[in-house]
């Protein structure tokens, strides 16, 4: 079921994107419009329960000296796709795993100290997993927008008068 969110929810999420630990009272103050701290707390809790948002720490790979990132796509035998994906998830250096439809079957993102470490991991670990037929690696030198920076789509916000929602 799709969650219904309004302009106030959008504004709360935008403020939380700046600082997920911000107090409800400060969020209410920043939004203005007579929104109370209690209403902000209620709306945050509702959005968490509806799985619209998650509030959790975001670990920085760079803080651990893992400054090199690579996207690795895998061509995998049909009966081994989920097994390969689950095995890849177990490695600390793998930050993202997804199954796809199309030319490649599994997509992973790897973080490492340097390209040599990525090369070793892809060739000695991923490439040797049973079922993996082919790997294609792209070093990612610049990330302009990461998954945790994705915003609530403005088009999904209800366009009605929200005065009664406060």
| Rounded Cα–Cα distance for residues 9 and 13 (Å) | 6
pLDDT value at residue 157? 79
| Rounded Cα–Cα distance for residues 45 and 90 (Å) | 31
Fold category of 61-139 in CATH: Alpha-Beta Plaits (3.30.70)
pTM of the predicted protein model: 0.78
Fold category of 1-58 in CATH: Arc Repressor Mutant, subunit A (1.10.10)
Listed by start position, the domains of the chain span 1-58, 61-139
| Tens of pLDDT, residue by residue, the chain (166 residues) | 567 889 999 999 999 998 999 999 999 999 998 999 999 999 999 999 999 999 988 888 999 999 999 999 999 999 999 999 999 999 999 999 999 998 999 999 999 999 999 999 999 999 999 999 999 999 999 989 887 777 777 777 777 654 444 4
Cβ 109 vs Cβ 100: under 8 Å: no
């Amino acid at each position: 079921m799709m969650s219904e969110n309004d302009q106030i929810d959008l504004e709360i999420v935008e403020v939380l994107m700046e600082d997920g630990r911000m107090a409800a009272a400060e969020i209410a103050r920043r939004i203005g419009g007579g929104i109370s701290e209690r209403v902000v707390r209620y709306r945050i809790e509702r959005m968490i329960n509806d799985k619209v948002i998650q509030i959790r720490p975001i670990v920085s790979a760079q803080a651990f000296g893992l400054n090199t990132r690579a996207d690795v796509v895998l061509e995998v035998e049909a009966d081994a796709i989920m097994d390969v994906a689950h095995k890849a998830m177990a490695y600390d250096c793998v930050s993202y795993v997804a199954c796809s439809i199309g030319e490649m079957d599994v997509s992973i993102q790897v973080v490492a100290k340097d390209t040599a470490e990525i090369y070793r991991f892809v060739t000695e670990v991923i490439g040797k997993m049973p079922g993996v037929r082919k790997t294609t690696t792209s070093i990612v030198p610049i990330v302009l927008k990461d998954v945790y920076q994705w915003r609530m789509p403005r088009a999904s916000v209800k366009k009605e008068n929200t005065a009664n929602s406060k």
